[in-house]
A and B are shown apart, each in its own frame.
Chain A
Amino acid sequence: MKLRVLRRLVLRLGQAVPILLVVAVVTFFLMHLLPGDPAAIIAGPEAGAEAIEKIRHQLGLDRSLPEQLALWLFHLAQGDFGRSIVLNQSVLEALSERLPVTVSLTVVSFAITIPLGIVAGVLAARFRNTWLDSAVMFLALVGVSIPGFWVAILSVILFSVTLGWLPASGYAPLADGVRPWLLSLLQPAAMLALFQIGFLARMARSATLDVLDQDYIRTARAKGVSEWRTIAKHAFRNTLIPVVTATGIILSLLMGGSVVIEQVFALPGVGRLIVQAILTRDYPLVQGTLLVLAFMFVGINLLVDVIYTWVDPRVRYG
């Protein structure tokens, strides 16, 4: 079986190549379609057309598009992701500085999401069709329905300014100590969790209900085993499956959420990096970053696949 898993892994990795190629080519043309000019940005508003043209030449932006694409792919093949125009640093260096922030944000938001989401979902399932179920599910739905930046701005005013409980902005690296790190992330992570909890609770509820419907559980119930024990014994393990699925989905949605949240809370993470890069037409940075993200996306999906086989013996690779 292990061999089959391994073969499957290799196959999936092989499939990743065309995906990444699609990403690379799409990003390249998308970026070069954008109006605006990075050379004009770095030259400054008062620079003349000649000065801008000179910078375009230095950056190689005056070459033909196919030529630029070929050159970029050629460098990529050698592992060179290019150099940011605006930041004057290599794409990988820029990313490696931002990644810890986004990963920290993700970790803290998951630490809030997973217990709360599962508990909410299981509770709703246990007390299905009661007021508790309705209330929990309604709140979960509200969570996925509120615009994140809107509630984030209101939250800063309430929790940071009026109550003074949490810092309003910025990121304290883990090296500064766990407490400041956690404090700097708590509010933005909670904003992300708002959406995620709603998402996870809904999946956890239906998974628990599915299990409670299974014959063997009905039997257990009929034999007089308490419902809580049944849930603890059988259903809980089964809710792990949707948790894994939801986690995978959330991880791939996360970048979308963190784009806006990082902007509001001034966290120097990957989301903000990409948005800034798009807005300043930093072609190599956008292209490189999106490609690395696509790598990670493929990796996460692969990981989710592997975890499936571990939590759910029914899933077999074939």
Chain B
Amino acid sequence: MAEAVSDLLAPPRRFPVLRRLARHRSFRVGFVIVLVLLLAAIFAPLLTGFDPTAMRARLRFRPPQAAYLFGTDNFGRDVFTRCLYGARLSLTIGFGVAVLSGVIGAAAGIASAQFRWLDGAMMRLMDGLMAFPAIILAIGLAAAMGPNIGSLIVALSVAYIPRTARIVRASALVVRELEFVDASRVAGASSLRIIVKHLLPNCMGPLLVQLTFVFAYAILAEAALSFLGIGPPPPAPSWGNIIAEGRDQAVEAWWIMFFPGMAISLATLGMNLLGDGLRDVLDPRLKVET
């Protein structure tokens, strides 16, 4: 098993990984979904002629039609446009949380594995943070730091750091005991060198898998926080706050709430499929079928 981890990411065999990913069905589906949403977010201004916050009172509550694909909301804003721009915010949050919690989680996990004297304190701290339900920690932090995207990303990252740290630590502990790592240690390699050369590359697989799931959770969490009134502040649209603002018209103007909800489900589904594929290919411990 341990050999598989190091083999997999050794340079000569790197391309086979990509090939296997490309052959993996759920990875392919997930990849296409995420790519489409990503492109929609990036090229939002080219895909719509409307301004996401411009209000036109005379165009309130238009049902979906050719001119307004997803209808219009209570301000007469185009819901399709808002979903496109909402993708920017929601995906930024997902990405930001994945990166931030990934970097800090990986640092904490690897430090714990490499510097054993740190391990006890670090893991107790992580256990402590983990004892908070993630969403509640995020509610508290988001409320404490004020309503903006940055604080939301930090809040959700803090909530997901402990799980990431544990996964990285577990992988690093396995790698640490491998012969070639032992050998370089005996040969006098510094801690930093061992971390950079061996631990980090070999933890990348499980880390990446975990981060796709964190990405998905973060998008869902953004929606839940918006529902509770502490999500990204309007008028800038996020998928979560479009739903939150549209829920007073859940039946009468169902389209306001329906389409961003679908977008969230689709994005989360895409990331989960992507994560499943990555896990099958990169993390053989969990691979059950080829």
Touching chains A and B, CB distance < 8 Å: yes
Q: How far is the CA of A29 from the CA of B240 in the complex (A)?
A: 28
Q: How far is the CA of A249 from the CA of B223 in the complex (A)?
A: 21
Q: Are B268 and A256 in contact (CB under 8 A)?
A: no
* Residues of B close to A20: CB separation below 8 A: 128, 131
The A-contacting residues of B in range 198-229, CB under 8 angstroms, are 216, 220, 223-224, 227-229
Q: Are A256 and B131 in contact (CB under 8 A)?
A: no
Query: Which of B144, B229, B243, B251 is most buried by chain A, counting CB atoms within 10 A of its CB?
Result: B144
In the complex, B184 has a CB within 8 A of chain A:
no
Closest A residue to B141 by CB, please name it. Answer: A30
Q: Are A154 and B250 in contact (CB under 8 A)?
A: yes
Q: Are A35 and B268 in contact (CB under 8 A)?
A: no
Instruction: Looking at the assembled complex, report how far the CB atom of B209 sits from the nearest CB atom of chain A, in whole angstroms.
Output: 13
Instruction: Looking at the assembled complex, report how far the CB atom of A84 sits from the nearest CB atom of chain B, in whole angstroms.
Output: 17
Q: Are B140 and A31 in contact (CB under 8 A)?
A: yes
Q: Are B134 and A256 in contact (CB under 8 A)?
A: yes
In the complex, A260 has a CB within 8 A of chain B:
yes
- What band does the interface of chain A fall in when counting residues whose beta carbon is under 8 Å from B? 35 or more
* Residues of B close to A27: CB separation below 8 A: 132, 140
A209-B289 in contact given A145-B268, A147-B264 (Cβ < 8 Å): yes
In the complex, B191 has a CB within 8 A of chain A:
no
Q: Are A23 and B128 in contact (CB under 8 A)?
A: yes
In the complex, A200 has a CB within 8 A of chain B:
no
In the complex, A95 has a CB within 8 A of chain B:
no
Neighbour of B269 across the interface among A128, A145, A205, CB < 8 A: A145
Q: How far is the CA of A117 from the CA of B251 in the complex (A)?
A: 32
Closest A residue to B270 by CB, please name it. Answer: A145
Closest B residue to A32 by CB, please name it. Answer: B144
In the complex, A46 has a CB within 8 A of chain B:
no
Q: Are B136 and A150 in contact (CB under 8 A)?
A: no
Q: Are B124 and A18 in contact (CB under 8 A)?
A: yes
In the complex, A55 has a CB within 8 A of chain B:
no
Q: Mark A127-144, 1 if CB is under 8 A from B, else 0.
A: 011000000000001101
* Residues of A close to B265: CB separation below 8 A: 142, 145-147
10 cross-chain pairs, A with B, having the tightest CB-CB distances, nearest first: A22-B128, A255-B133, A145-B268, A294-B131, A256-B135, A33-B144, A145-B269, A209-B288, A150-B261, A297-B131
The B-contacting residues of A in range 85-138, CB under 8 angstroms, are 128-129
Q: Mark A193-216, 1 if CB is under 8 A from B, else 0.
A: 000000000000110011001000
Q: How far is the CA of A27 from the CA of B128 in the complex (A)?
A: 11
Q: Are B243 and A22 in contact (CB under 8 A)?
A: no
Neighbour of A153 across the interface among B220, B240, B257, CB < 8 A: B257
Q: How far is the CA of A278 from the CA of B144 in the complex (A)?
A: 10
A22-B125 in contact given A153-B257, A274-B136 (Cβ < 8 Å): yes
Q: How far is the CA of A66 from the CA of B108 in the complex (A)?
A: 28
* Residues of B close to A18: CB separation below 8 A: 124, 128
Q: How far is the CA of A34 from the CA of B243 in the complex (A)?
A: 26
Q: Are A129 and B289 in contact (CB under 8 A)?
A: yes
Q: Are A293 and B223 in contact (CB under 8 A)?
A: no
In the complex, B146 has a CB within 8 A of chain A:
yes
Contacts beyond the supplied A15-B124, A147-B264, A255-B136: 10 A-B pairs with Cβ under 8 Å: A22-B128, A26-B132, A142-B265, A145-B272, A146-B261, A147-B265, A153-B250, A256-B136, A259-B139, A278-B139
Instruction: Looking at the assembled complex, report how far the CB atom of B246 sits from the nearest CB atom of chain A, in whole angstroms.
Output: 10
In the complex, B129 has a CB within 8 A of chain A:
yes
Q: Mark B227-261, 1 if CB is under 8 A from A, else 0.
A: 11100000000001001000100110000010001
Q: Is chain B's interface secondary structure helix, strand, loop, or mixed overall?
A: helix
Instruction: Looking at the assembled complex, report how far the CB atom of A275 sits from the nearest CB atom of chain B, in whole angstroms.
Output: 6
Q: Is chain A's interface secondary structure helix, strand, loop, or mixed overall?
A: helix
In the complex, B177 has a CB within 8 A of chain A:
no
6 pairs from A and B in contact (CB 8 Å cutoff): A18-B124, A142-B265, A144-B216, A145-B220, A145-B269, A259-B136
Instruction: Looking at the assembled complex, report how far the CB atom of B32 sits from the nearest CB atom of chain A, in whole angstroms.
Output: 15
* Residues of A close to B125: CB separation below 8 A: 22
In the complex, B273 has a CB within 8 A of chain A:
yes
The A-contacting residues of B in range 23-80, CB under 8 angstroms, are none
Q: Are A298 and B131 in contact (CB under 8 A)?
A: yes
Instruction: Looking at the assembled complex, report how far the CB atom of A23 sits from the nearest CB atom of chain B, in whole angstroms.
Output: 5
A256-B133 in contact given A19-B128, A153-B247, A278-B143 (Cβ < 8 Å): yes
* Residues of B close to A286: CB separation below 8 A: 140
Q: How far is the CA of A274 from the CA of B228 in the complex (A)?
A: 12
In the complex, A148 has a CB within 8 A of chain B:
yes
Q: How far is the CA of A19 from the CA of B286 in the complex (A)?
A: 30
Q: Are A30 and B264 in contact (CB under 8 A)?
A: no
Q: Mark B114-140, 1 if CB is under 8 A from A, else 0.
A: 000000000011011111111110011
A147-B261 in contact given A157-B250, A259-B133, A275-B139 (Cβ < 8 Å): yes
Instruction: Looking at the assembled complex, report how far the CB atom of B45 sits from the nearest CB atom of chain A, in whole angstroms.
Output: 27
Closest A residue to B139 by CB, please name it. Answer: A278
In the complex, A73 has a CB within 8 A of chain B:
no
Q: Mark A28-44, 1 if CB is under 8 A from B, else 0.
A: 00110111000000000
Neighbour of A150 across the interface among B129, B130, B264, B288, CB < 8 A: B264
Q: Are B143 and A34 in contact (CB under 8 A)?
A: yes
Neighbour of B131 across the interface among A19, A142, A145, A157, CB < 8 A: A19
* Residues of A close to B139: CB separation below 8 A: 259, 275, 278
Q: How far is the CA of A206 from the CA of B265 in the complex (A)?
A: 24
* Residues of A close to B128: CB separation below 8 A: 18-23, 26, 294
